[in-house]
Amino acid sequence: MIAFRDVMVRYPRAEQPAVDGVSFDAGRGAITALVGPNGSGKSTLVGALLRLQDRAGGAITIDDVSLDALDRRAFARRVAVVTQREALVFPLPVREYVALGRYPHEGAWRAAGQSDDAAVGRAIALAGVEPLAERRTHELSGGEWQRVRIARALAQGGDALVLDEPTTFLDIAHEMAMFELFSRLSKSGMAVLLVSHQLNLVARFADTMVLLNRGRVAAAGPPADVMRASVLEPVYDWPLVVTHDPAVGAPALLPLRGRAP
Amino acid sequence: MRRMFWPLAIAVLAVLVVAAVVWGAVPLSLHAIAAAVMGRGDPDTVAIVRTLREPRVALAVLVGAALGMSGGALQGSLRNALAEPYLLGVSGGAAVGAVVVVSMGFATPFLLPLGAFAGAALAIGAAIAVARAAGGRADPRVLLMAGVVIGAFANAAIMVLLADAPADTVRGALWWMMGSVAGADWTQVGWLAAYTAAGGGALLAMGRDIDLLALGEESAAGLGLDAERAGRRVFLVSSLLAAATVAAAGLVGFVGLVVPHMVRAAGLRRHRPLLLGSAILGAALVVSADLVARVAHPPADLPLGAVTAIVGVPFFLVQLRRFA
């Protein structure tokens, strides 16, 4: 549903492009994971999707419609993006916060209608945050806040969800619950594009992995193809072994103790 | 609290407006004032009420409403609980613009706010650029410091501009830099009403955009808002509102800071109701501050800006503590 074709992004005054000819698809009903070392261009791609960064070349399409032909609201009605960080200066009740997800459907003066309220209710249920609905945003824990942000993204009503490192700072239980949620959403037919550093979890949950290195695709395919020591070691520049998860048999990565820093 | 806000706020404003018309240097009976409002009775009383007190109160209402909305919009769009036109140097920039217009001899009630607006827009642009250069977009205090520095620069610029002005012009200018609605006339009131209606209406129309800007640029973009353009629009309209008040009544600080926090505390958080509530409470605050300015030290008027600062500074310090 979201397709990147030869995308190139160049920051002003940078010698090398941050993203250099990246192509891949994030399809419906699947989790596509974008992985790679820090600075490999993952968040830059998300920025290009949000048009926060200008593309120097290539194309991004949503269901074969060029991003440049979609106005920002039309894009937001189809693709919801949960960015890396968000902190509210002025706290809101959770339900009011989730309702902000209806913005791309609203006119300047039209009051929120029944269909908006219904969409907000559905999003809250889907993200599993009903117990939090009457709380205020500044009273939430890190894991709860991430879930509430996902609820707001779901309220946008699109069928693609882009998440930039959504489980950073979360403990194991909250992180697993998040991945289970992504799995549920993709099985319901959504396209889930996930930027993550959690290679082992990604290997268990994602359908496709796209490994970026210095702005280029170093490897792409099912987790079994990407999760190889011969592929990952040169990209991360660190000795590692890939074994198999004893419980579920998915490929699992173990960084070795190697060099002095 | 939320449901009670509107009737309560409107009632408070109405009572204050009546009190401000009744209360003054010349004691008048309620009966005489009621007759004078209708244009009947003793001609001296009619003159006092209609040409002195009514326009003064009306100007105070408009100054407060415009400053309240300007502050609410700036706080939301800059994601900064300490933002307000006076502290950001916007009012100071407006004052420079106005002084330039006056010294060139174009001081009509229509042109004065436009000159002030040019100065205000320059000032907010400068404050934001300085804060960015200092790398402090995340820390609300950095933008504020930039604003205070711009404000100090504006003050200095006015002093230079007035260096060879006649003594009574300087006195007038000093008085004006402390803020005052004394000597208001209906022409001034009319122009400020027009600017406040236009600017306030534009901000209310952008209320939902400001809701999104308050989430941050990336999240706003994810929801389909061109955050950079929307932000710039909000800064410009907020500056225009602040500039119009500066042209009419000089520098009145802290109203834009205090009032939106009061409205938020009452449970109004979306920016459309927040801005409307800030207009009403801002009007109430400036009318009551002007009332205090008139009756605290008779027969002299205290500067209006001094009264609002006495209320605003402790409030500012309490807000500042939240970031310490």
Distance between A49 CA and the closest CA of chain B, angstroms: 9
- Could you tell me what percent of chain A has a pLDDT over 90? 80
pLDDT interval class at B36 (50, 70, 90): confident
Q: Is residue A237 part of a domain?
A: yes
Domain count for chain A:
1
pLDDT value at position B221? 93
Please check the confidence at residue B324 and state whether its pLDDT lies above 60. no
Range among A129-143, A168-182, B58-72, B110-124 with highest mean pLDDT value: B58-72
Please check the confidence at residue A172 and state whether its pLDDT lies above 80. yes
Structure-model confidence comparison of residues A69 and A12, the more confident one = A69
Distance between B134 CA and the closest CA of chain A, angstroms: 19
A181: amino acid identity, one letter: L
- Nearest neighbour of B269 by CB, restricted to A73, A82, A96: A96
User: How many alpha carbons lie under 13 Å from residue A160 in its C-beta half-sphere?
Assistant: 22
pLDDT value at position A174? 87
CATH number at residue A7: 3.40.50.300
Please check the confidence at residue A111 and state whether its pLDDT lies above 60. yes
Average pLDDT over residues B311-316: 89
Q: Which residue of A has its CA nearest to B79?
A: A89
Please check the confidence at residue B270 and state whether its pLDDT lies above 80. yes
Q: Is residue A125 part of a domain?
A: no
Q: How would you classify the pairing of strands A191-195 and A30-35?
A: parallel
Q: Which residue of A has its CA nearest to B323?
A: A89
Residues of A in contact with B211 (CB under 8 A): 100, 103
Q: Is residue A113 part of a domain?
A: no
Q: What is the three-class DSSP state of A83? A: coil
Q: How far is CA B297 from the centre of its chain?
A: 24
pLDDT value at position B301? 83
- Nearest neighbour of A100 by CB, restricted to B80, B211, B218: B211
Helices (H) and strands (E) in chain B, counts: 15, 0
Average pLDDT over residues B49-54: 90
- Nearest neighbour of B269 by CB, restricted to A86, A90, A101: A90
pLDDT value at position B136? 64
Mean pLDDT of chain A: 93
A162: amino acid identity, one letter: V
**Who contacts B61 (Cβ-Cβ below 8 Å, separation ≥6)?**
B13, B17, B283, B286, B287
- Nearest neighbour of A89 by CB, restricted to B214, B217, B219: B214
pLDDT interval class at B137 (50, 70, 90): low
Distance between A229 CA and the closest CA of chain B, angstroms: 35
Tens-place pLDDT, residues A126-140: 999 999 999 999 999
Please check the confidence at residue B170 and state whether its pLDDT lies above 80. no
Domain span at residue A204 reads 2-91+158-255
Contact B125, B119 (CB under 8 A): no
Q: Is residue A138 part of a domain?
A: no
Please check the confidence at residue B302 and state whether its pLDDT lies above 60. yes
Residues of B in contact with A146 (CB under 8 A): none
pLDDT value at position B24? 77
Q: Is residue A10 part of a domain?
A: yes
Structure tokens at A21: 């000819």
Would the CB atoms of A86 and B215 count as touching at under 8 Å? yes
Would the CB atoms of A89 and B81 count as touching at under 8 Å? yes
Q: Is residue A187 part of a domain?
A: yes
- Nearest neighbour of B212 by CB, restricted to A96, A103, A156: A103
Residue among A103, A155, A73, A137 at smallest CA distance from B209: A103
Q: Is residue A141 part of a domain?
A: no
DSSP A27: -
Residues of A in contact with B223 (CB under 8 A): 76, 100-101, 103-104, 156
Residues on chain B bordering chain A, Cβ-to-Cβ distance under 8 angstroms: 75-76, 79-81, 140, 205, 208, 211-212, 214-219, 221-226, 264, 269-270
Residue among A215, A212, A205 at smallest CA distance from A166: A205
Average pLDDT over residues B164-191: 83
Residue among B78, B20, B84, B80 at smallest CA distance from B313: B84
In this structure, of A61-75, A103-117, B3-17, the range with the lowest mean pLDDT score is A103-117
Q: Which residue of B has its CA nearest to A155?
A: B223
- Could you tell me what percent of chain B has a pLDDT over 90? 56
Average pLDDT over residues B249-270: 94
Q: Is residue A203 part of a domain?
A: yes
Sign for the CA dihedral angle at A81, A83, A89, A94 comes to: positive
Q: Which residue of A has its CA nearest to B260?
A: A90
CATH top class, domain B63-321: mainly alpha
pLDDT value at position A260? 59
Structure-model confidence comparison of residues A246 and B196, the more confident one = B196
Rg from Cα positions in chain B: 19
Distances (CA, A) of A130 to A116, A147, A257, B204, B297: 17, 11, 44, 31, 58
Contact A239, A256 (CB under 8 A): yes
Average pLDDT over residues A181-192: 96
Tens-place pLDDT, residues B274-299: 999 999 999 999 999 999 998 888 77
Tell me which of A72, A105, A120, A146 to substitute to probe the interface with B (most B C-beta atoms closer than 10 Å): A72
Average pLDDT over residues A196-216: 95
Structure-model confidence comparison of residues A109 and B236, the more confident one = B236
Tell me the whole-structure pTM to 2 decimals: 0.92
Q: What is the three-class DSSP state of A216? A: strand
Helix (H) or strand (E) segment spanning residue A255: strand A251-255
Residue among B195, B200, B198 at smallest CA distance from B69: B200
pLDDT value at position B39? 81
